[in-house]
Structures are given as structure tokens and as C-alpha cells.
């Protein structure tokens, strides 16, 4: 990621520009990164379900979390977007500082009560500003084939805000494993599910519906790649 400091400086240098312009700087870097992954590693991706992304409103994205890939590439697939992330990431020189200017929802996981309050308060603000909010309900990267129960924070945000949920599944961990520098050639499969309405549903019901769809989609991805 040698380009990260360069792009970070460019974004920081444009701090006085509108958010949309700073966002475009990040988009250029992501486009270049995805191009290099294809060129150098033979790693590409295919997306199914783009028609499920609403054109007239934003939503809470509840996504499977296996790799670093989805923290980068999903910004290009569903945009404009912000994400829930660890507050400590914003302390990384240049890259983290630049990220701080792109309206992230940065939480301190050591204080769960405060983290949930920040997620709900800032999440509602971002949705009302017209940004999709990406949340990884597993809370951390989970290896392919492993299971971790979904946290309810994302579903609680959908319930409180009234915005719908987009469930999303992928198998990026098969090609860019957790905590690994190595990337393997292949095609990452991304599946975007139908909108899940938050109206007249509890957060528990929303979470269960999203988790069930993602689990089924992961099974389909596995059967398609055997």
C-alpha cells in the first residue's frame, strides 16, 4: 500500500474542498488499487444484485467480513458510502488522517455502551446526509467457513432511523486471507440481497432476516465455486 501516504496527503491537502471532491480522491485510489490487484495478482470480482441497490434513498449495508478487500472495494460498488470502523485507525499517519476527513463513524470498542451510542447518533446523521452506512455485524474478520453471531448494532440503526437494510455476502477471504500479505488469483463473488424494510420490525427481527439471507447467500457462493 505504498500509494496510501500519497493519496492521504492529496486528501488532506483538499480538506477545504467539498466532501464530494475529497470522496473522489479516495475513489481514484481505490480504482487504481483494484486495477493493480487484477494486474499483479489476477484478482477480480463479480457482483450479483446491483439492481437491489435503491436509486432514491440510502440504506444500512450489513456485510459479511472476511478480509481487508471489502473495506476497500465496497466503496466502489455502493456509493456514496461511509463505514463504521475502529477509532484507532484514524491515528495512522496520512492514511488514517485522510480517512478522518471522509465522515467515518469511528468507535472505541473498549466502551461498548458509548460505541453503540455513537453508532446510532452518527449513523442517523450520515444516512440523513445521503450516505450509505457500511457495517460489519460480525464485528471482526471471520475466516471462510467459520461462524460468528451477528451484533445487533446495524439493525438497531436501521430500526431507529427508519432506513432499510441491504444484506451483502462475498467470499473475499478465500483470496485475500485475514492478516495475510499474500493475495491469490481468482474471482471474488459478491451478492447483494433484496432490500430489507425496517418498518414495523424490531431490531432483532431485522438482524435475524439479514443474517439468514447472508448465510444462505454464502452457501450459494460456496456451491458455485466448488
The DSSP code for 196 is B
Q: Check residue 87 and give its pLDDT.
A: 76
At residue 109, the pLDDT reads 78
* Angle (nearest 5°) at CA 161 between 201 and 147: 60
Mean pLDDT computed over 173-178: 94
What is the 8-class DSSP label of residue 18?
-
Q: Which of the pair, 223 or 97, is modelled with greater confidence?
A: 223
Q: How many domains does the chain have?
A: 1
Name the residue range of residue 69's domain: 4-225
Helix axis angle, 203-225 to 153-161, nearest 10°: 120
For the cut 90, the answer to whether the pLDDT of residue 166 exceeds it is yes
What is the distance between the alpha carbons of residues 176 and 15, in angstroms, rounded to a whole number?
A: 32
> CA-to-CA distance for 17 and 188, rounded, in angstroms?
34
Residue 135: which of 110, 111, 114, 118 has the closest Cα? Answer: 118
d(CA 202, CA 160): 10
Domain containing residue 203: CATH number? 3.40.1130
For the segment 169-187, the average pLDDT, to the nearest whole number, is 93
Question: 195-221, pLDDT tens digit by residue?
Answer: 999 999 999 999 999 999 999 999 999
Check: CB of residue 170 under 8 Å from CB of residue 46. no
Instruction: Give pLDDT, residue 33.
Output: 84
pLDDT at 2 over 50: no
Residue appearing with cell numbers 491515528:
91
Q: How do residues 32-47 score in pLDDT, each as one tens digit?
A: 889 989 999 999 999 9
Nearest to 50 by CA among 197, 221, 191, 215: 191
Give the whole-angstrom CA distance, residue 73 versus residue 46.
11
Q: What percent of the chain has pLDDT over 90?
A: 64
In tens, the pLDDT along 93-118 reads 656 666 666 788 888 877 888 999 99
Q: Is residue 80 reached through a cis peptide bond, with omega within 30 degrees of 0 on the bond before it? A: yes
Determine how many CB atoms are found less than 10 A away from the CB of residue 64: 26
Model confidence at 169: pLDDT above 70: yes
Place of cell 414495523: 200
Look at residue 48 and tell me whether its pLDDT is greater than 90.
yes
Amino acid at each position: 500500500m505504498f500509494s496510501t501516504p500519497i493519496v492521504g496527503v492529496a486528501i488532506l491537502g483538499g480538506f477545504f474542498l467539498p466532501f464530494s471532491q475529497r470522496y473522489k480522491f479516495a475513489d481514484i485510489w481505490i480504482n487504481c488499487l483494484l486495477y493493480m490487484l487484477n494486474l499483479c495478482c489476477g484478482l477480480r470480482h463479480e457482483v450479483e444484485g446491483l439492481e437491489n441497490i435503491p436509486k432514491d434513498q440510502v440504506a444500512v449495508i450489513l456485510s459479511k467480513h472476511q478480509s481487508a478487500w471489502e473495506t476497500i472495494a465496497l466503496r466502489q460498488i455502493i456509493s456514496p458510502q461511509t463505514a463504521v470502523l475502529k477509532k484507532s485507525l484514524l491515528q495512522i499517519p496520512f492514511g488514517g488522517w485522510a480517512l478522518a476527513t471522509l465522515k467515518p463513524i469511528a468507535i472505541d470498542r473498549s466502551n461498548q455502551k458509548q460505541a453503540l451510542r455513537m453508532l446510532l447518533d452518527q449513523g442517523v446523521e450520515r444516512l440523513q446526509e445521503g450516505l450509505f452506512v457500511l457495517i460489519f455485524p460480525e464485528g471482526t474478520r471471520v475466516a471462510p467457513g467459520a461462524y460468528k453471531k451477528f451484533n445487533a448494532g446495524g439493525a438497531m440503526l436501521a430500526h431507529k432511523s427508519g432506513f432499510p437494510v441491504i444484506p451483502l455476502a462475498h467470499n473475499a477471504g478465500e483470496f485475500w486471507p485475514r492478516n495475510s500479505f499474500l493475495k491469490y488469483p481468482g474471482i471474488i463473488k459478491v451478492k447483494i440481497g433484496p432490500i430489507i424494510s425496517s418498518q414495523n420490525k424490531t431490531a432483532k427481527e431485522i438482524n435475524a432476516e439479514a443474517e439468514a439471507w447472508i448465510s444462505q447467500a454464502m452457501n450459494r457462493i460456496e456451491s458455485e465455486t466448488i
